[in-house]
Structure 1
Amino acid sequence: MRRFFVLAAALLATFAMPASARAQTREVTGKVTVAGSGNPLQDAIVGTVGAVGGARTNERGEFRLRVPSGDVTVQVRAIGYKRQTVRVSGSQTTADFALEKDVLQIEGVTITGAATTIEKKNAATAVASVNSEELARVPAPALESALQGKVVGASINMNNGAPGGGGQVQIRGASSLIANSQPLFVVDGVIISNATRSNRMAVVTGSLNAGEENGTNRLADVNPNDIENIEVLKGAAASAIYGSQATNGVVVITTKRGSATAPRFNFTQRVGTFQAQRLLGSRQFQSLDQLTALGLGAEATAAATAACNPKCPYFDYQKQLYGQVDPSFESVISLTGGVNSTRYFFSGMDKQEAGVINNTGARRQSLRANLDQAIGSKVTVSLGANLLRSFSQRGISNNDNALSSPIYSFGYTPAVVDLRQKDATGRFVLNPFPATLSTSNPFQTMETMLNNEDVYRQIFSSRINYAALSTGSNNVNFSLQAGADRFSSENYLYAPQELQFQRAGTVQGGQFPGTIIQGNGTNLFSNVTASGTWNNSTFSWLNATTSAGVQYESRSLNDYNVIGRGLGPAQKNAAGAANTTVSHNQQLILNQAFFAQEELLMFNERLYLSGAVRGERSSVNADREKIFYFPRVSGSYRFAAPIKGVTEVKLRAAYGESGNQPNFGERDLTFASYGLIGGLAGFGIPGTIGNTTVTPERLKEIEYGIDAGFLSDRIRLEATYYDRNIVDLLVRPTLAPSSGITTTTVNGGEMKATGVELGVTTVPVQTGNFQWTSRATWYQNKAEITSFPDGVKPFRDNTAARGFGNAYGQLFYTPGHTVSTIWGNALINGVQTTQTPLADANPRYVMSFSNDFNYKRFNVNMLIDYRRGGTLSNMTKNLFDEGGNSWDYDEKSPEDGVPLGEYRYNTWNGGRTTAMYLEDGSYTKIREINVSYDLPQSWWSVVPGARSGRMSLAARNLFIISGYNGFDPEVNNGGAYVVRFVDLAPFPPTRSFFFSVDLGF
């Protein structure tokens, strides 16, 4: 506590002392160059150790820095270079620096607190970062896809191949069963929303829940071209600074800022295409007998007879529907510059992504302004504003119960009739092959139906730093940071009555043919953080940093939908529909926290020790006033050149606790509306009841690691082992049906998770003209449920993303088994069993390989992802087998005279043998490849004012090798976030090819 009193006293003393006493500074000038070449290094940051801010070098590499009188330690750092630190005596007025290139990205800083950082070389936890070049060199539909394969320990799956992106990020495996499993996302200090708004597509398709509606989570709005760096806080010791929202990790995004240079204008133009990566086709019927053997009705038999006369034609429905290849465009501009006191960065983006199906696509637009202003020598102000618009048309896909989803419908439609045909009135022909549920003509559906989402978003950030005290050995700084993230999402879904599956009498049309849904959701996140830091370096062997602060955060949601059923001809609004319903959802969450931290860097920066605690209360907890504490401690020690050939070895260990808040409303006792009683609004008991004792889940994690450099840092090794114990796990108890209540949430479960993360980066070749940098990563994890509290039996959460029952394989959360165990039915020794553990959806391990080749002006970059193991439920193949239409239906089977598709379906036997449709999900995928050429001056000088130029060719998801008999083993039905193993009628994944031109002015 003494240090906190001193911190406050220092602030008071700052205002009390005369101005002359506070102004005892002097000026140091110098130049920063690149080691070896002597070329000036622009935009390097020069500052005294422990102080906030500093000076930046100009185009000539020169700087002017105000420093305290007396001896000081001056440090220079620049992106892509190794930092350099020099002791400058009180009589010295000049200092020059020569920085070496940081090929293996050894340098850099990592976040240790709300207001503090530490050099990466001293970090006591595993550090994962991705820079701007790695993010933007290959165009991506969304930020999540740009991160795939670049963060060891992070599983990133796109929801499907629909335009506009959207995916799920999971760090170090599953850490919850029913609570939030997404990491926290922070942009320039602002906590942003990654919500997915339900467009209520389930009303049209009859699917089980909103999880199957193919939505876009809002991280996809963020413009990757604006990002300077992304840091992923994976362990509890690193993420504990964010308290009860950090169990799933934290993704910290830092955007680009201005530089102290003359104005620099950059322009990038990209043009390319998206195309289906892997289509399966369907059965090619050889005779009418094969068709009639399917048990067709009279109408279908007549259509089949007319088509197969005498030979059955084949129409490749998937290629016809998903074969659209239209151009896509992306234009990016930026302007940066400034002087030491004022720096600015402006950017704009317009991105148009063409879908591979008619009537689908996406457009994303972004405007950003970042401004940094120094006010005198003590105050700096940083402001940021980002205006975004995302418009998408994602069509329809995934599971449904009306055969309205194209792949679902194709599973039951023999490909012998041209469904693209139209009659004399311009209407599509009807699909003559109805299944038991309903049927549709997917070509009619995709041309006529609308599924639009229009999002307007604003993200604002601000930070004020005040250097209250700056001497040779003491630096006291105060910071106030505030920001907000607001978006409004408008959804419009239109399924007119002429659609085959919407007609009167069909499953979805019923008495009210035609459906329209209009919805709007407004989401607002805001947070304010006030903090102070005191850095003391009185002793040459010790550098101590104390920090403390408070934080306030609010999250609000206002969401409504108007659903109209029973539409008139050409009616495109809900007003006047025969049947209208309205839904409305409002949420408000308030969080308050305080934190304190101590960091010690000792013995020539060899030993690093840190300890911190965060106290937090939240309105989603049962006791809104109770403060929950989340501590952490960590340490590292660096051994310099312990043996020949070893540059350095760092041992590190950390322990931390973080939390996971209950879902909104799980604490509340609410009542359901039950119409009017005696003219007054009535209410009753809902199916779900709140728990007045619910608390956050708590993750307790210990992490060990070693980082080492070999052969003058030509080889770098990173190895981490972690052991996690999740207590107070939120679970669903079994309730008595007689109570009328079906669902509640309680704490008390426990889960254990372990994992290993490895990374090796090497520079195999480095000459004057050629450099080859290679990196390989490997990780595995396992999460097991260890116990449930009394009264809680094994349960299946009621979301389709976690499986469709024993017949197809499902997650059935059971103590003694992994979270990812797939349960189902099996015939064991002639005895029929149910709820039997059959396989595990979690992969055995995951690897990534990246290689960068640089030869003179040519650059080649390649990223390959490899996954070993992980079982998938191939329900898509089950659909096609049931409909007699699978692409390999007529191939040879183990049973003589029985085609393969029939054999599989018979063996599955209505779900009695679940394993028939469980498959290995291993794959090798060429994730990214980029070939670029830096244009010589004679090329780009023809453009007035140009100073640099580059051309590049890039591809994403270029090629896949897998034995999986489906579209893509990288499945994610319904946007699942705990475990991803269900493949059911997805929007086929896509690959992309782009040509880019970059010009600098």
Structure 2
Amino acid sequence: MKKTNKPISSLRRIKLICSFSLFILFGFGVQGQSLYTLKGIVKDYLGTPATGVTVQIKNTNQGAITDFDGNYELNVSLEPGDYVLVFRQLGLSTQEVKVSLANQTEVVNDVEMAMDILGLDQIVITGAGALTSKKQLGNTISSIKGGDISQSATVDITGALSGKLAGIQVTQNSGDPAGGISVRLRSSSTVNGSSDPLYIVDGIIVNNNSVDVLGTTSVVQNRLSDISPQDIDRIEVIKGAAAAAIYGSRASNGVVQIFTKKGQSGEPVITVSSSVNFNSLRKERAYNDEPFEWASTDITVLDKVEATRYNYQDMIFNNSTGTDHYVSMSGGKGKTDYFGSFSYLENDGILKSTSYQRQSGRIRVNQEINDWISASFGTYFSTSKSKDQPNGGYVAGVLPTILFSDNTIDPTPDADGNYPTMTFYPNILEYIETFDYSQKNNRNISDLQLTLKPIDGLKVSYILGYDNSESTGNTYVPIGTTTIDLGRASNTTVTTSQFNSDLNGSYKFDINDIFTSTTTTGFSWQADKTNLSSISGSGLALGVKTTNGAASITTNESRSERSFWGGFLQQTFGISDKLFVTGAIRLDGSSVFGADERNQFYPKASMSYLVSEESFWKDTFGETLNSFKVRAAWGQAGNLTAIGPFDRLSNYAAISIDGTSGLIAPTELGNENLRPERQTEIEFGVDMSLLNDRVGVELTYYKQDIEDLLLARTLSPSTGFGSRVENVGTMTNKGFEALVTATPIQSNDFSWSVTGTFSTNKNEVNNIEGDQFGIGNFGFSVAKNGEALGVFYQGYYARNEDGSLLLTDAGLPQREKGSYDADGNPVAERDANGQPSGANLSKVIGDPNPDFIASLINEFKYKNFSFRMQFDAVQGVDLLSWDTRMLYRFGGGEQTAKELRGESVRGTGTANFSIAESYIEDGSYIKLRELSTSYLLREPIQGVDSVKFTLTGRNLLSIDNYSGYDPEVNMDAQSNGSRGGVMGLVPIPRVVKFGVVATF
């Protein structure tokens, strides 16, 4: 906020005019009450100015934020009387100051805030409109400041979560400019459904679907990429079944609550930021650079001839740039505050002919109607477009062409513009220069919220939310390519509309001086509609890029609707503000299940005990362990999204024969008796601070038991159907999470803080009929009894008793053979010559689920300088590298170079090609995820409050043993169970970003 002794500058006059215009626009006036100025200076526990502290008049929407000198100022219209000022900031203990307003017009209160390294005083949202302090919770809830999100140099909000919380695994599945990101809170909780958390923006359940509108899995985007990270105020994450007690069973995988910025009373504040980023290929893959090739295809012939070899990577990758521009304006007067913003982002990919653009804007207006009614309206819109390339996984593309090619062919077109044939896929330059793959997305998220406080302690809130997204993909393949001689064009549009209506009430009162009671109840209704339409044409007319010029056209259309409903009742008792006991019951229902099973009850119970508040603790351990909290939570939730709207039915397919329409019987029999998968979770933990609140530790153990998994069961042929989805199968997750925060050095000029996280999870699937079934990676990823979801099950090397490879007479490796025992375990067999005999054998050869994930963040601040370094680690994870497999055989890889140099027997690569174990690689890595520094100029010129310069690097370094570009990517994109497959994917780029942020 600005100091009152400054003269009114021209810029300030402009801001006042803008503020007045906004009030006129929204039709809000200032109510006639006494005018007061509440002001002061806020300092932290070191006596230094506390910047960014929220100062709010309790039980109202009127507030302000301290400026860079710790000053706050509220100009308010209030009736004379007694009020309470509440001072809050993450990391500092909440302070409440009583204020009496009478004849004086200016009231000054200076405040010094103590450290709260565990955040126990932090007010968090545990449901739509439900507020509570963190110390009352029996389950974990973690918060991230918006500044840590906006400064992470990511396009997607979810990407910025990586490494900042315990128990969360964030994976960027490709290096495309808006490549999809997977988020797992703890682990997978279903086989066929989604394990994504529920995303909520300002109380609105939003769509984060990953829709493939281009027919190429690797370039699927998340819809949270529609939201600008710079609009984020904070993010709160609730894990496990505890989240579902309030938000419903759609939150059984946890909740990511996103809170956007809003205005505060006071003169307008304008923030302008601009940045430029530089993207580059972090690592080049080894390729065949031997200037020879084999004279014969016979592997017994070792004659070579000279050959020119090309590094195709230099031809398809380039350094690229991007820009991000943002402006916001916020303020308020009286009982009205507002916030508005607009952003424009443009980012080119490191793969040539790829890019992403996004424009977005947001408006939020909060209005206190009277002493007990307030309203809020917000709307967010964005439009984006991307230029893409088909790549990876199960389709052709630029990088797959390289994998399947011998790099002795120059891909440059001839004088007539004809591209030479490289392999059975199109030429790499032909893709880049002639193919047209693009996506367009339009998004709107709007909400209207009402809050009523008719009597002391009673709060009623209503939220009506709407989220509409439309994604359109267009593809064009020119005439004359290797794969499609006659050319092809397609258009696919997916539109998803979501509604949610939440009515919640809470009543809090003091039973006596010791006991407090908080009762919360609510009801929610949600619905979504998805429409898909596509048209594809082949045999294009010359020069035509659309389907209306196609000789053969196919169409597809589908529509689906779902609705979810639920109600809950929760009761919390507090004893002496140190022991809190909570119990809750929730009813959830979904239209995707049959009438007899769609409504289910889910209970919850939790406990939180601040042992350090007891006198015995203070007298014994208090000086060493300053605070000590034990907590426990138990709860159940159902998975309401494991099946689609019509999966419980026998769905007949339409067909047309000779102009007559008809139906084809399905292979899967319907089942009206399906019920939701049920998850039961128990969680124990301790939170402690020690050494004068210099060190904070959070430790959590949890166990999840999921039953009634929805899986297909094979039926007898006599039924006329092949399978039926039934409630069979179970899954367990057991894990441990640790978060350690420390401030080794804290002084007025210099500070050093450290944050470390460690998480481990053990997943196991059981009771699957037939022992296992394939779920991705060409069937190599399976759900198998007694194993973690998605383990790799395939062929492996034949070995001698000492573990060395059993080679053929020609010195080549070979696959193990034999038979299976009664328990299904492979048993190796040998013939008279000691060579493998019998049938090809398979076993579990790898696990894409990590043994543990960890992170380490160091932050240093010296006066106006700051420095931040973050390392992320994923350890004990296996990859199924199809890249390695293809390079074994098709000549362009390092294996062929080794054979040409005589370092390995000719034919070794071809032999390895047929043995899946040969392309299982260690996917463990330690990444320098973020490295940033900034410098803050305070009031550099009149009218400018601050200018901040930032320099950020992302994905600068990866310490790993992976032979490819990056072990983090995944060809099945945001798939739930199929993880760890790598084939022809764009690597995650190294990003260096320079930015400037100015506040007026």
TM-score (norm 1): 0.86
Question: Whole-Å Cα distance in 1 between the matches of residues 439 and 735 of structure 2?
Answer: 39
Question: Whole-Å Cα distance in 2 between the matches of residues 720 and 863 of structure 1?
Answer: 23
* Structure 1 position 443 matched with structure 2 position 434: no
Which residue is equivalent to 1:629? 601
Structure 1 range deviating more: 699-708 or 167-176: 167-176
Which residue is equivalent to 1:509? none
* Structure 1 position 654 matched with structure 2 position 633: yes
Which residue is equivalent to 2:415? 424
Residue 315 (structure 1) aligned to one of 306, 310, 316: 310
Which residue is equivalent to 1:199? 213
Which residue is equivalent to 2:400? 408
Which residue is equivalent to 2:886? 879
Q: Deviations over 1:309-366 (max 9, x none)?
A: x8422321012211x2232111011111112411111111100001112221000111
Residue 590 (structure 2) aligned to one of 603, 611, 618: 618
Which residue is equivalent to 1:669? 650
Question: Whole-Å Cα distance in 2 between the matches of residues 968 and 136 of structure 1?
Answer: 24
Letter in 1 for 2:410: D
Question: Whole-Å Cα distance in 2 between the matches of residues 440 and 42 of structure 1?
Answer: 55
Structure 1 range deviating more: 312-321 or 639-648: 639-648
Which residue is equivalent to 2:275? 270
Query: Could you say if the C-alpha distance between residues 78 and 411 of structure 1 is closer, same or farther in structure 2, counting changes exceeding 3 Å?
Result: closer
Which residue is equivalent to 1:811? 781
SS at match of 2:886: helix
* Structure 1 position 163 matched with structure 2 position 174: no
Which residue is equivalent to 2:321? 327
Which residue is equivalent to 1:338? 332
Q: Deviations over 1:72-114 (max 9, x none)?
A: 8764324553211457899999894514265746242223333
Letter in 2 for 1:981: G
What is the CA-CA distance between 1:122 and the residue it aligns to?
A: 3.1
Question: Whole-Å Cα distance in 2 between the matches of residues 602 and 52 of structure 1?
Answer: 27
Which residue is equivalent to 2:865? 858
Q: Deviations over 1:251-283 (max 9, x none)?
A: 111111101121111111101221122221421
What is the CA-CA distance between 1:607 and the residue it aligns to?
A: 1.0
Q: Deviations over 1:804-827 (max 9, x none)?
A: 24xxxx233222222243211232
Residue 285 (structure 1) aligned to one of 286, 290, 312: 290
Question: Whole-Å Cα distance in 2 between the matches of residues 782 and 66 of structure 1?
Answer: 57
Query: Could you say if the C-alpha distance between residues 535 and 900 of structure 1 is closer, same or farther in structure 2, counting changes exceeding 3 Å?
Result: farther
Structure 1 range deviating more: 182-191 or 136-145: 136-145
Which residue is equivalent to 1:487? 469
Query: Could you say if the C-alpha distance between residues 691 and 224 of structure 1 is closer, same or farther in structure 2, counting changes exceeding 3 Å?
Result: same
Question: Whole-Å Cα distance in 1 between the matches of residues 328 and 906 of structure 2?
Answer: 55
SS at match of 2:148: helix
Contact 2:166 2:759 in 1 (8 A): yes
Which residue is equivalent to 2:141? 127
Question: Whole-Å Cα distance in 2 between the matches of residues 337 and 291 of structure 1?
Answer: 77
Query: Could you say if the C-alpha distance between residues 291 and 651 of structure 1 is closer, same or farther in structure 2, counting changes exceeding 3 Å?
Result: farther
Matches within 5 A, 1:206-225: 212-225=217-230
Contact 1:430 1:500 in 2 (8 A): no
Structure 1 range deviating more: 573-582 or 823-832: 823-832
* Structure 1 position 609 matched with structure 2 position 581: yes
SS at match of 1:540: coil
What is the CA-CA distance between 1:120 and the residue it aligns to?
A: 2.0
Which residue is equivalent to 1:986? 985
Question: Whole-Å Cα distance in 1 between the matches of residues 79 and 788 of structure 2?
Answer: 58
Question: Whole-Å Cα distance in 1 between the matches of residues 753 and 928 of structure 2?
Answer: 18
Contact 2:76 2:333 in 1 (8 A): no
What is the CA-CA distance between 1:42 and the residue it aligns to?
A: 7.2
Question: Whole-Å Cα distance in 1 between the matches of residues 648 and 517 of structure 2?
Answer: 42
Q: Deviations over 1:780-804 (max 9, x none)?
A: 001112324xxx3233245xxx322
Query: Could you say if the C-alpha distance between residues 429 and 58 of structure 1 is closer, same or farther in structure 2, counting changes exceeding 3 Å?
Result: closer
Structure 2 stretches lacking a partner, 5+ long: 1-33, 613-617, 797-815, 817-826, 830-835
Which residue is equivalent to 2:807? none
Question: Whole-Å Cα distance in 2 between the matches of residues 353 and 27 of structure 1?
Answer: 48
Which residue is equivalent to 2:951? 953
Which residue is equivalent to 2:87? 76
* Structure 1 position 772 matched with structure 2 position 752: yes
Query: Could you say if the C-alpha distance between residues 647 and 355 of structure 1 is closer, same or farther in structure 2, counting changes exceeding 3 Å?
Result: same
Query: Could you say if the C-alpha distance between residues 656 and 683 of structure 1 is closer, same or farther in structure 2, counting changes exceeding 3 Å?
Result: same
Contact 2:115 2:693 in 1 (8 A): no
* Structure 1 position 351 matched with structure 2 position 345: yes
Query: Could you say if the C-alpha distance between residues 331 and 242 of structure 1 is closer, same or farther in structure 2, counting changes exceeding 3 Å?
Result: same
Matches within 5 A, 1:337-736: 337-400=331-394, 404-419=396-411, 421-425=412-416, 427-431=417-421, 433-434=422-423, 438-470=424-456, 475-503=457-485, 513-603=486-576, 605-623=577-595, 626-640=598-612, 641=618, 643=621, 644-661=623-640, 662-664=642-644, 665-676=646-657, 680-736=660-716
SS at match of 2:400: helix
Query: Could you say if the C-alpha distance between residues 54 and 607 of structure 1 is closer, same or farther in structure 2, counting changes exceeding 3 Å?
Result: farther
Query: Could you say if the C-alpha distance between residues 235 and 91 of structure 1 is closer, same or farther in structure 2, counting changes exceeding 3 Å?
Result: farther
Which residue is equivalent to 2:793? 823
Contact 2:243 2:251 in 1 (8 A): no
Structure 1 stretches lacking a partner, 5+ long: 1-24, 203-211, 297-304, 504-512
Contact 1:888 1:901 in 2 (8 A): no
* Structure 1 position 44 matched with structure 2 position 61: no
Question: Whole-Å Cα distance in 1 between the matches of residues 513 and 906 of structure 2?
Answer: 76
Question: Whole-Å Cα distance in 1 between the matches of residues 38 and 198 of structure 2?
Answer: 42
Structure 1 range deviating more: 732-741 or 349-358: 732-741
What is the CA-CA distance between 1:429 and the residue it aligns to?
A: 2.5
Question: Whole-Å Cα distance in 1 between the matches of residues 288 and 874 of structure 2?
Answer: 30
Which residue is equivalent to 1:935? 937
What is the CA-CA distance between 1:684 and the residue it aligns to?
A: 2.2
Q: Deviations over 1:596-634 (max 9, x none)?
A: 11122221x211121222212211112278421122111
SS at match of 1:862: strand
Contact 1:329 1:351 in 2 (8 A): yes
* Structure 1 position 761 matched with structure 2 position 772: no
Letter in 2 for 1:33: V
Contact 1:953 1:994 in 2 (8 A): yes
SS at match of 2:611: strand
Contact 2:711 2:725 in 1 (8 A): yes
Identity of aligned residues (%): 26
Question: Whole-Å Cα distance in 1 between the matches of residues 191 and 639 of structure 2?
Answer: 11
SS at match of 2:896: coil
Which residue is equivalent to 1:21? none
Contact 2:351 2:986 in 1 (8 A): no
SS at match of 1:61: strand
Question: Whole-Å Cα distance in 1 between the matches of residues 946 and 905 of structure 2?
Answer: 59
Cα RMSD, aligned residues only: 3.1
Which residue is equivalent to 1:19? none
Contact 1:247 1:698 in 2 (8 A): no
Contact 1:882 1:905 in 2 (8 A): yes
Letter in 2 for 1:877: T
Structure 1 range deviating more: 527-536 or 740-749: 740-749
Contact 2:445 2:468 in 1 (8 A): yes
SS at match of 1:359: coil
Contact 1:530 1:551 in 2 (8 A): yes
SS at match of 1:927: strand
Contact 1:892 1:899 in 2 (8 A): yes
Query: Could you say if the C-alpha distance between residues 79 and 717 of structure 1 is closer, same or farther in structure 2, counting changes exceeding 3 Å?
Result: closer
Q: Deviations over 1:621-673 (max 9, x none)?
A: 12278421122111111122451311100000000111112321211222111
Which residue is equivalent to 2:113? 100
Question: Whole-Å Cα distance in 2 between the matches of residues 663 and 536 of structure 1?
Answer: 43
